[in-house]
Amino acid sequence: MLEGIVSYGKTVDEAVRKAAEQLKISTEEIDYEVVDSGYRSFFFYRPVVIQARIRESKIHSEQRYQDKVDRQSFSVQELDPAEANKENHAVDNEGTSVSRMYTPIPAKGTAWVKDGKVFCKNGEHQYALVTPCKGVTMTINGQVVTGTSIITEDDVIEIQIEKEMVDSEYTLTISDDKMQVLMEYVPGYCIVRELDDLPPSRDLVLSVTETKLVKPDLKELQVLEELKQLGVKFGVNYDEILSVCQSQEPVKSVVARGVEPIPGLDGGFEFFQTKRKQQKDQFTLSEKTDWKERFSLPTVHAGEVIGRPIPAKPGTPGKNVFGEVVPAPEVKEITILASEGTTLHGVDQKVVATSSGRVKVDERSNNTLCFSILPQYVHNGNVNFQSGNIRFRGDVYIIGHVEDGMTVEAGGNLHIAGRVSNAIVRTGGDAVITGSVVGSTIICGYSNLIWDKILPSFKAIRDDLILVIRAIKQLESNRSFSKSDLGKGGLQPLLRLLAENKFQDLPVRIREICSKVKSNKNGFDADTLKIMDFLEKAFLYYHPLVTKLEQLDSLVIYMDHVISAVEYDSNKKMNIQVQSLTNSSIMSAWNVKIDRFSYGSDIYCKGGLQVNETIRGGSIRSGEYVMAGEIGSSRGSHTEVDVMSSDGFIKADVVWADTILKVGGVATKLKDQEDRLHVRLNGKRELILR
C-alpha cells in the first residue's frame, strides 16, 4: 500500500467516507485496505480501521501470447496488492488521464487469474485454494495435482493447456442392389483451449474457453484408392468426392452411382372407339350416372373393329457401380381372348365384332383381356302379362313399371324407370330402380353370388379331372391295357369305372353345380355353359362323343380360364340403387343405396348400405358398414342390423329402443333411444356406441 491516511468508523463505508472528507475528494477516488474489520458485542466495541489513499492513475500495457495453442506454462508470481489493483487509464489527445477499469484490491488468502497467469495473496490465517479443470494440467512445485490444492506466494505453479486433435473419419457403403456407393464423412478437428480470467476467490476453480477448429485432412486420392479396392469402376462422381473431402460439416453423399435400367412397356390394347375409353363397366354410388349414355355407349355393329393389341416394348438395360450389366425388368405381352360376339382377325390380331351390342372387357390374370359383345334391349312400356317376362343376356332398359308376378333377368346392367311391385328382378351387373320397390326380390350381381357358393365345388371338379387324366395315362402305360379297345369304345367305359369306384364324389358335385347353373342360365357366360354341358355328358350320361383324352385336357384348360375370370369378377362392385323399399328383399354383390326408406325389408350386401332416411323393421346384413338417418321404431318393430366385418361400423342419427346392433359378431340390444351413434369395436372387441 502506498502512503495514505488511517480512517476509523463503525463500518467500512463510514471509514471510507471519513477518509474522503479528510482528503477532500469523492469516495470513488479512494483506494483502501481494511486493516481491522472491527468487533462489536453487547459490552465491547472496536471500530473498523482502514488505510486509504488517493487513487493513482497508470497506463497498463497488457501483453498476451500470440499463439494460444502453443502456450505451455505460466509461473505463479507474487503481486503487490497495490500494483494488482491499479486502474488502467487511457490518455486522450490533450494528455488527460481517463479511467477505464476499476479493480478492487484482492483480499488476503485469495487467488485469481489474469492474462493466463495465476496470482495469489497470502492471508494471515488463510491460504487460497485452486482446483484445475478439464483440459488443464496443473503442477505445484513440480508435482502434478488433480484435485483442490493450497497455493501460496512461495509456490511455483505451472499450467499446461491441453490440445485435443481428432482425425477425419469416413466410410464407403455399397447398396444392396450395387447401384450406388454412399460416403459418410466426419471431418477432423482441433480443440484449442484458453485459460479464463477469474476474479479473486478463496476457492478458485480454473476454467477454460474452448474453440473448435475444423481440420478437413481427408485427401481425394485416398477415397479413390479405396473405391478401387472395393471394385467400383463405373459411375464415380469425382466432383462430389472432392466436395465431401472439403466439407466443414459431417455429410452423407452418393459418390458413385450406376445407371438404372429403363423399364419397358407391357403389352396393351388400343381401342379404336373413343367412346369406349370413357365407359365404365361399373359405377359407384357417389357418382351420378347418365343411364341413357350408359346403356347406349359404346355400341358396335357386326364387322366393326373394336381395337388391336399393342406389342410389349422391351426396356433398356442398366449398369451397376461394378460395371456389370443390369437387365431391364421383363415385359408381359398381352393375351387377347375373343368370346361371344367377337373374333380375332389378321396378323395383328384385331378384335372384330361379329354381332351388335355393348363391348364387354373382362381383365383376367397374366395380362389377359377377354372380349365379348353384350346385346342391349330397350323395353318401352310396362312389364306385365301382356309383355311377358324379360330374360336377356345383355343390358336391359325398361321404360315403365314391373308389375305383379313378373320376372326380369339381365345378364348385364339393368335400369327400371318406374316402380317394381311383387316381382323378381335379377341382374348380372348394376341395377338402378328410379321408383319404389314393394313386395319384390332384387338380386344384383347374382352370378357372383352364385359363384361364391359353387366355386369351391367347381375347383374340386377341376382337381378331380386332373387326377382322372393322370389315372387314364397310367392305364395306357400298362401292358395289359389295350389301346385298340380304347379306340373302339372311347373313354366312356373308363370314365364310368373311375367315377363309380375311385371318384364317387365327382358325379355328385357335377350334378349339383349343373342344377344351379341351369336354373340361372342368364347369369353365366357361354364358356361356363359349355363346360357344364360337357361335364354332364361325360360323367352323368357317358356320351359317346367323349372319345379322346385330349378333350379332357382341353376341358381342364377351359375350367382354369373360368376360375381366373370368376376370381377377377369377384372383385367387381355391382351395386343397387332404389328409391324406397317396402316388405322386399335385396341381395347385392357389393353396395346398396336407398334414396328414402326401408320398411320391413331384408337386405344383404357384401359392401355397405346407405339409407338416407329410415330403416324400420327387417334384417340388415352388410359386409362393411351401415349408414342411416334413423334405425328402428318407437312402436317396437323388430329391427336387426349386422355388420359382418370387425373393422366395420354403424352410423345413425337416431336409433330406437329394442333395436339389435351387431358388429364383427358382437351384438347389443338398446334399452333406450340413442342419438348420434357410431357403433364399432375397440381393441378389446368391445362395442362402443360413440
- pLDDT (tens digit, 9 = 90+) per residue, 503-539? 888 888 888 888 888 877 766 777 788 888 888 888 8
Average pLDDT over residues 19-29: 84
Identify the pLDDT of residue 305.
92
Identify the pLDDT of residue 212.
85
Task: Please count the CA atoms within 13 angstroms of the CA of 327 that sit on its side-chain side.
Answer: 4
Domain 268-374 has CATH 2.40.50: yes
Average pLDDT over residues 470-474: 83
Q: Which amino acid type is present at position 624?
A: E
Work out the angle at residue 144's Cα, subtended by the Cα atoms of residues 141 and 145, and round it to the nearest 5 degrees. 105
Let me know: does 69 contact 163? Beta carbons within 8 Å: yes
Work out the angle at residue 457's Cα, subtended by the Cα atoms of residues 452 and 463, and round it to the nearest 5 degrees. 130
C-alpha cell at 291: 343411364
64 pLDDT above the threshold of 50: no
C-alpha cell at 103: 479493480
Span 614-625, pLDDT tens digits: 999 999 999 999
Q: Which amino acid type is present at position 265?
A: L
Residue 313 carries which DSSP code? Answer: B
481 pLDDT above the threshold of 50: yes
Alpha helix stretches (DSSP H) within 602-641 = none
pLDDT more than 70, % of the chain: 84
Candidate from 104-113, 549-558, 636-645 with smallest mean pLDDT = 104-113
Closest by CA position to 291, among listed 397, 383, 410 = 397
The Cα 51–Cα 29 span in angstroms is 14
542 pLDDT above the threshold of 70: yes
Mean pLDDT of all residues belonging to the chain: 81
Q: Which residues contact residue 479 at a Cβ distance below 8 angstroms, ignoring those fewer than 6 apart?
A: none
Candidate from 401-405, 415-419, 514-518, 607-611 with smallest mean pLDDT = 514-518
User: How sure is the predictor about 438, in pLDDT bands with cuts at 50, 70 and 90?
Assistant: very high
Q: Cα–chain-centroid distance for residue 680?
A: 24
Identify the pLDDT of residue 313.
93
Candidate from 225-229, 410-414, 633-637 with smallest mean pLDDT = 633-637
Work out the angle at residue 102's Cα, subtended by the Cα atoms of residues 99 and 106, and round it to the nearest 5 degrees. 145
Identify the pLDDT of residue 490.
62
The Cα 245–Cα 168 span in angstroms is 9
Identify the pLDDT of residue 79.
43
User: How sure is the predictor about 298, in pLDDT bands with cuts at 50, 70 and 90?
Assistant: low
The ranges assigned to domains in the chain are 5-54, 61-258, 268-374, 447-569, 591-690
Average pLDDT over residues 679-684: 89
Work out the angle at residue 388's Cα, subtended by the Cα atoms of residues 384 and 389, and round it to the nearest 5 degrees. 95
What are the backbone angles phi and psi of residue 26, rounded to the nearest 5°?
-80, 160
Identify the pLDDT of residue 365.
66
Q: Which residues contact residue 343 at a Cβ distance below 8 angstroms, ignoring those fewer than 6 apart?
A: 351, 352, 354
Q: Which residues contact residue 278 at a Cβ distance below 8 angstroms, ignoring those fewer than 6 apart?
A: 297
567 pLDDT above the threshold of 80: no
pLDDT more than 90, % of the chain: 33
CATH placement of domain 591-690? 2.160.20.70
User: How sure is the predictor about 67, in pLDDT bands with cuts at 50, 70 and 90?
Assistant: very low
User: How sure is the predictor about 325, in pLDDT bands with cuts at 50, 70 and 90?
Assistant: very high
Task: Please count the CA atoms within 13 angstroms of the CA of 55 that sit on its side-chain side.
Answer: 26
Residue 620 carries which DSSP code? Answer: E
Identify the pLDDT of residue 484.
52
C-alpha cell at 285: 354410388
What are the backbone angles phi and psi of residue 205, rounded to the nearest 5°?
-110, 115
Let me know: does 404 contact 421? Beta carbons within 8 Å: yes
Query: DSSP letters of 80-103?
Result: -HHHHTPPEEEE-TT--EEEEE--
User: How sure is the predictor about 44, in pLDDT bands with cuts at 50, 70 and 90?
Assistant: low
Q: Which residues contact residue 542 at a Cβ distance below 8 angstroms, ignoring those fewer than 6 apart?
A: 492, 495, 496
Average pLDDT over residues 147-160: 88
User: How sure is the predictor about 274, in pLDDT bands with cuts at 50, 70 and 90?
Assistant: low
Domain 5-54 has CATH 3.30.30: yes
Identify the pLDDT of residue 485.
53
Average pLDDT over residues 482-487: 53
